[in-house]
Amino acid sequence: MKNIAVIGLKRIGDAIYTLQTFEALKRSYPEAKIIVFTESQVANIYEGNPFIDQIVSLSKKQFWKTTLQELKQGHYDLCIVNHNAFKYALLPFLAKVPMRIGFNKEARSFLLTHSRDLPTGVTHRLEHNALILDLIGLESRDLLPRIYLTEQDDLAVSKLFQTFGLKDAQYICFIVGSIAATRRWFPENFARVIDLISEKYGLKCVILGGPDDVEIAELVSSKVSCAESVLNLAGKTTLRGTMQLFSKSVAVISNDTGPMHVASALGCQVVTWFGAANELEIAPPSASTTILNTHVSCGPCVKETCPTGTLKCLHEITPEMVVSTLKC
């Protein structure tokens, strides 16, 4: 194996659970050049990874055409297709990559040289991705997803500290947004946690997130008793900047969302909660991550909208429960 291509996934959390794939590949093929093809919104996850030799970061519009061109020209020996859609398996097939591995979905097995059916029943994401590597005799079950920061990240976080008046290990990060209503805790609960942390520990509370999180972050900030206890940076940092701030924080308190998995893969102290999602499928494997789950009778429903309209699974998680798990 001289050149190995990996077609990445679009969502942050999904991409996190493919990181051990690169370590397993490099362990078996130390001389190979390993290239990941990714959409730009998750490219920061791969930066600094010692098991990845090249990151090809593309916009959604560029991805298919540019990846096909590169696969044709790059003389690849193997392509791992992490994405399960038909068109992604078509890319290495059209490029005539000799070995093409992935799951058989959408009747695409004829496009792959090594394939297997998707697992039935509840399967954790780590096991899901390990099954792909089984197809070529590689083992990744002894590995965990890990994000790597660099010296440049240390310099960058120092600049963020200067810009926003923060100090190492003197603040707690919050992720208050999420893609689905069944994964979003309530603004008044986040505000109460911030108040309790300010009263009990005197730590600054920093709200982080992307552009889609700005509105809910402002709502949380407006409900906090003491405005000086919270710093709202939602929409003001890149994903990499968020990682940098995570790494120097006391803890990360977060909804079930992509950045939560990022914080866990960085080894941060994380407090999160699962309501609609199935913990057995996506629970972070880090020993530093605490998951709150009241296991209501209607869960896990794995729905983006609550079937009962009550969001009971989230209401039963209280601010006091969250604060009591912190080690400050």
The pLDDT tens digits for 180-229 are: 999 999 999 999 999 999 999 999 999 999 999 999 999 999 999 999 99
pLDDT of residue 102: 98
The domain 3-134 is placed in CATH, from the list 3.30.1330.60, 3.30.390.50, 3.40.50.720, 3.40.50.2000, at 3.40.50.2000
pLDDT averaged over every residue in the chain? 96
pLDDT of residue 275: 86
What string of DSSP letters covers 205-256? Answer: EEEE--GGGHHHHHHHHHH-S-GGGEEE-TTSS-HHHHHHHHHTSSEEEE-S
Label residue 177 by pLDDT band (50, 70, 90). very high
pLDDT of residue 281: 96
Amino acid at 91: L
CATH number of this structure's domain 151-325: 3.40.50.2000
pLDDT of residue 116: 96
Quote the CA–CA distance of 246 and 262 in Å, as a whole number: 9
Q: Where are the domains of the chain?
A: 3-134, 151-325
DSSP 40: G
The pLDDT tens digits for 18-71 are: 999 999 999 999 999 999 999 999 999 999 999 999 999 999 999 999 999 999
Token reading at 108: 């695409």
pLDDT of residue 238: 94
Q: Nearest Cα to 148, choosing from 227, 55, 240, 47?
A: 47
Quote the CA–CA distance of 133 and 296 in Å, as a whole number: 35
The pLDDT tens digits for 72-89 are: 999 999 999 999 999 999
Quote the CA–CA distance of 98 and 123 in Å, as a whole number: 29
Q: Do domains 3-134 and 151-325 have the same CATH topology?
A: yes
pLDDT of residue 67: 97
Is the CB of residue 8 less than 8 Å from the CB of residue 37? yes
The pLDDT tens digits for 273-305 are: 998 999 999 999 999 999 999 999 999 999 999
Widest CA span of the chain, in angstroms?
Answer: 62
The pLDDT tens digits for 90-127 are: 999 999 999 999 999 999 999 999 999 999 999 999 99
Quote the CA–CA distance of 131 and 108 in Å, as a whole number: 17
Q: Nearest Cα to 260, choosing from 144, 175, 195, 326?
A: 175
- Run of H or E including 69: helix 60-73
Label residue 130 by pLDDT band (50, 70, 90). very high
